[in-house]
Structure 1
Amino acid sequence: MAMQRRFPVGHADVFPAGAFLKGGVEPVADFNAERRADGSRPQQLDKDTGLPMWQVMVLDADEEAGKKDTAISIKIAAKVQPVPPENTTPFPWTPVEFVGLTALAYVDDNGNRPRLAWSFRAESLKAPGKPAASGSSAEKAA
């Protein structure tokens, strides 16, 4: 049996108590590419699809989440900048659900001792319990 490096996971499996968007959607800088004339870095492209990479900062509402797992970054490959759902709560953080979420395990050795950490990607994001917007990132890539 061949195990894929990145494997699909359900949103509720990763965020059983919910997830909240902190801030907006930002382009992922490509630190392996040369700087532009103005000193900025170009946007990273997805290795599989060639689509631009975007990232969001997410707060995990799970009370049992560890200190380093409370705020995580999730990347999204999309032709255009994904639009987060409208925040209809009185709080500064927007409830969010990820569609097509995948996980990749890696060893984080930035500390006193190495630990298992996770890198997450999603096809798109939406309001919890709502249908995904038509034309997901995967459809746009085709």
Structure 2
Amino acid sequence: MIIIKQLKKSKFGFTNIEMIIVLMITSLFIGITLFIYPNIKNYQRNDEQKFWNSFKYQWDSIVMSTKINKNEKSKITSTIIVNKNNVHFIYWNGVNKSLNIPNTMSIYGNSYIIDIKSGGYVAPATYRWHSNLLKNDYIQTFQLGWGVYHIE
């Protein structure tokens, strides 16, 4: 009983041990944050690189498929539709493949459509993409004919 009365009287705040425990927990959280945050940016950068690699693969596939099926009697056309969230590759034979745009990237404007005509002809065009992660723009240029494009 006497101990309880003494404990009630001596309420001055944290003891040194309690303060050390609080500082250790706080420094642990700060340390984890400092080591994890750069890795998160690397993962996001990798997402953008994976997107461009996948876009290139799908682009080459759809252009080659359309070129191979060159037929003057039938007008074969493949289409690529780019909107805010994803890119749709619609092949001439009805095959439809989609590619999600990473959250760190966006296109200028609402959407755009690229038509690939028989023989691989693509109308010249330039589209801009913005990377929130790298704080810069990608300029995607499609050249006249042969289905060639560049990223700057």
TM interval, short-chain normalised: under 0.3
TM-score under structure 1 normalisation?
Answer: 0.21
Question: Higher RCO, 1 or 2 (CA under 8 Å, sep at least 6)?
Answer: 1
Please state which structure has a larger fraction of its residues in strand: 1
Larger fraction in helix: 2
TM-score after normalising by structure 2: 0.20
